[in-house]
Amino acid sequence: MSREFISQQNIDIRAGNAAVQDPLIINFAGPAAALTERNFRFDLDADGSEDLISFVQSGSGFLALDKNGDGTINDGQELFGPQSGNGFDELRAYDADGNNWIDENDPVFQQLRVWTRDAQGNNVLLALGQTGVGAIYIGAIN
């Protein structure tokens, strides 16, 4: 078993009342998560209209919870971050044992998926274990 700690600092600049809608991304292969130049249509803000967004490069994917169990990530309500602007806060609601980790002791862990694409561009939902993720830390880092 190995452990990896990644710390990231973000600086957000917003003009007016623009909402932050970035979903959480899991990087499971490669140096760092990055967006592709290929855009696709997806209802990120779950308002009923599709938005044009970029997908992540190979080796990364969006952290997802298929809430309706249809095997598809239908809109931003099934991702962590687009609804509130803070995916970690949304994920924290599923920390059943209150230890600041989403892991095998939390019922949601087995349901979480990484939404990525295969070499042919088909949508793929991978279990966290398939990507080598054993736990996600959701506590604050100072």
pLDDT score for 6: 55
Q: What pLDDT was estimated at residue 116?
A: 93
d(CA 102, CA 33): 20
pLDDT for res 16 = 47
What parts of the chain have a pLDDT lower than 70? 1-20
Which pLDDT does position 5 carry in this prediction? 58
Pairing of strands 35-42, 51-56: antiparallel
pLDDT at site 23: 94
pLDDT for 39 equals: 84
Return d(Cα 38, Cα 55) in angstroms, integer: 7
In this structure, the dihedral spanned by the alpha carbons of residues 5, 88, 45 and 41, taken in order and rounded to 10 degrees, is: 20
Q: What is the pLDDT of residue 12?
A: 43
pTM > 0.85: no
